[in-house]
């Protein structure tokens, strides 16, 4: 898990050097979408379209989106994953070429 977060942070730093100002994950541009689950701010799903271009890149993008959301809302990068970076590839939630992760930001309660 720590390696995945480090990889995402490294990619993020390198993405900042991109002339087009797009984030690249495993060399592929992805735009993760983070959504609340049932109005609960701490329960989230993260979807990444075009996952077949790079499953690893899509996973990195999903982690990036979740970490960004949790840090901005709760000040912590800790995430309790139901479906996340440690989920085996053959068990990932892929729907119509979209990778979907699900997790919870600990809210400090």
Report the alpha-carbon distance of residue 5 to residue 37 in Å, rounded: 23
Residue 16 contacts by C-beta under 8 Å, 6 or more apart in sequence?
A: none
3-state secondary structure of 70: helix
Q: Please report the pLDDT score of residue 2 as a whole number.
A: 60
How many residues are present in the chain? 109
For 16-70, the pLDDT digits (tens) are 554 445 799 999 999 999 999 998 889 999 999 999 999 999 999 999 999 999 9
Residue 25 contacts by C-beta under 8 Å, 6 or more apart in sequence?
A: 8, 11, 54, 56, 57, 58, 60, 61, 64
State yes or no: pLDDT of 3 exceeds 50. Answer: yes
């Amino acid at each position: 898990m720590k390696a995945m977060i480090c990889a995402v942070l490294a990619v993020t730093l390198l993405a900042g050097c991109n002339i087009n100002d797009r984030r690249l994950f495993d060399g592929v541009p992805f735009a993760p979408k983070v959504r609340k689950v049932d109005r609960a701010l701490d329960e989230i799903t993260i979807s990444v379209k075009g996952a077949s271009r790079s499953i690893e890149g899509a996973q990195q993008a999903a982690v990036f989106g979740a970490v960004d959301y949790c840090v901005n809302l709760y000040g912590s990068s800790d995430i309790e994953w139901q479906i996340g970076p440690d989920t085996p590839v053959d068990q990932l939630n892929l729907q119509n070429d979209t990778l979907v992760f699900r997790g919870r930001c600990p809210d400090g309660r």
